[in-house]
Structure 1
Amino acid sequence: MHEATFEINSKSDAEAVRRLVERAYDILREETREVSGDEAGQSEVLDELEAIREATRRSTPGTLTIQYDQSDEAFEG
């Protein structure tokens, strides 16, 4: 497992985290659209990231933790 934690202690920290989440959301949305053909194919991950995106727009102190659990399995096909 890999983990990154971002402490948001200032307005500049909040802006940096907001930009990070906005960019991740935009990239994931575009990739989802390319695979599914439209926005109706949005995944649960995209919905969860959208909730985080909305929270980061409030520009308040907090913590953002990102976890990546790597699987031992290979992709299919």
Structure 2
Amino acid sequence: MPNYAAIFEIDSKSDAEAVRLLVERVYDALREETQDIEDGKASLSQMLDEFRAIRDAARHAAPGTLSIQYEQSDEPFED
């Protein structure tokens, strides 16, 4: 199972703005894509809540670190 990671060090206002824009776009894309999936799924609601918290935190420019990890499964999607 391949594993990919990216770490963004936020040590300037321009870094913070870039991270804010990235997180906003990720949240918006997830929200839009999950609207078509069975409404009311608890796992989707929880995922959006977690990304909303990250998005809201990124709106307050401050030094920090954003870490993204992607673990790719060898299994195909369920249809």
Q: Provide TM-score, normalisation by structure 1.
A: 0.88
Name the CA distance, whole Å, in 2 between partners of 1:9 and 1:41.
Answer: 37
Query: Is 2:39 aligned against 1:47?
Result: no
Secondary structure of the corresponding residue to residue 35 of structure 1: coil
Alpha-carbon distance, 1:5 to partner = 0.5
State the TM-score, normalized to the length of structure 2: 0.86
Unaligned runs of at least 5 residues, structure 2 = none
Distance across 2 between alignment mates of 1:41 and 1:59: 32
- Stretches of structure 1 that go unaligned for 5 or more consecutive residues are none
Q: Structure 2 CA distance, aligned partners of 1:76 and 1:36?
A: 15
Q: How many residues align?
A: 75
Same amino acid, percent of matched pairs: 60
